[in-house]
Amino acid sequence: MKTTAFTKFHEEMGGKMVEFAGYLMPLQYEGVSVEHETVRKGVGVFDVSHMGEIWVKGPKALGFIQYVTSNDASVLFDGKVQYSCFPNGKGGIVDDLLVYKVNDETYLLVVNASNIEKDWNWLVSHAPKFGLEVGKDLYNASDEIAQLAVQGPLALQAMQKLTDTTVTDMEYYTFKKLDFAGVKDVIFATTGYTGSGGCEIYMSNADAPKIWKAVFEAGAEFGIKPIGLAARDTLRLEMGFCLYGNDICDTTAPIEAGLGWITKFTDSKDFIDKEYNLSLKNGEAKRRLVGFEMIDRGIPRHDYEICDAAGTTIGHVTSGTMGPSIAKAVGMGYVPVSLMKSGSEIYIKVRDKLLKAVVVKMPFYKG
């Protein structure tokens, strides 16, 4: 099992360590609800060093990214980040990812921990079409980079103490290369997966211990705390953010998942599964990922059956929880398109009982 550059700190701070995506990671420290509210109201720190980082470089970099991803990377400017996905050529998704544009010939792809090898092999398989040299133009730096996500409404104010570059006014989905905590060329981004603001800090493994200590010292006056994976999941679910392996996977199309906004059908962009996704957009989709709130008392869990009033199974819950910030049991799941509108009644099968729920517009947490 792999460890990160921060593993010893998690253990010293009492983190409950579990295996996740082949890494030893902290599931929680004080408890999910406490950690969740720390991020919603203050500032919390996640170790996300298990995420993958892949560089794409050279004059053909943009053309390659345009082909393998669903979004339109041509609109990116230097310092801008874009959410996207890799269509798999079979109507599904290889992975969802972030695309960072450093300059016209340098891009960073940030992918999910559980899919690093799969994503890398997928990209390598398409590299020859664009003349990209593997190991040079296409480079997997995942094992060399550590990453912290410092999240919450006080995060940027706290982190500003560690750099002379202004970061408190950074727009959502942008990044800067800057000197941070005495370390040069740190990538400082504002993408977020919690819905409460904050930043992501990319650094070399060698610089990780120094930056960890500096982050906690700078955040001490703001009540900074380490946060585990369990709260990360409840935070993202309250925002209706998809989790690969649950809400999207190899058999779900981005259009079905409500990701039409990252699937761009422009004349200048040819991408994998373009025609198939266009057909779904034009009315051929049979199902849609929706958010729902429980009306009857009960908590929806991953893979619970979604039924109609007659008890017929029409789908399955992909993610579900009791939202700490909203005090409601909520979930996501795929239903027939006839039930995708807000207000549609569905039923969740919990211990052989049909519990009523209603389709609602996401995010569940309004901030």
The per-residue pLDDT for range 106-141, each reduced to its tens digit, is 999 999 999 999 999 999 999 999 999 999 999 999
The answer to whether 211 and 230 are in contact (CB under 8 A) is no
| Amino acid identity at 1 | M
| Average pLDDT of the chain to the nearest whole number | 98
CB atoms within 10 A of CB 81: 20
Nearest-CA neighbor of 334 among 237, 247, 260, 254? Answer: 247
Confidence bin at 367 (pLDDT 50/70/90): confident
Q: What are phi and psi of 16, to 5 degrees?
A: -80, 110
- Would you say the pTM of this structure is higher than 0.95? yes
Rg, C-alpha atoms of the chain:
21
Please give the C-alpha separations between residue 94 and each of 67, 111, 275, 285, in angstroms, as whole numbers.
14, 10, 17, 19
User: Averaged over 213-217, what is the pLDDT?
Assistant: 98
Domain-by-domain residue ranges, the chain?
1-236, 238-360
Q: Which tokens belong to 241? A: 């953010």
Of the options 3.30.1360.120, 3.20.20.80, 3.40.50.300, 3.30.70.260, the CATH number for the domain spanning 1-236 = 3.30.1360.120
pLDDT tens track for 171-194? 999 999 999 999 999 999 999 999
Instruction: Report pLDDT for 15.
Output: 98
List, in sequence order, every residue forming a beta bridge with 81; answer none if it has no partner.
100
- In 205-243, which positions are buried (b, 16+ CB within 10 angstroms) versus exposed (e)? eebbeebbebbbebbeebebbbbbbbbbbbbbbbbbbbb
Q: Which tokens belong to 307? A: 């039924």
CATH architecture for residues 238-360: Beta Barrel (2.40)
Confidence bin at 318 (pLDDT 50/70/90): very high
User: Averaged over 195-201, what is the pLDDT?
Assistant: 98
Query: Cα–Cα distance between 105 and 41 in angstroms, integer?
Result: 39
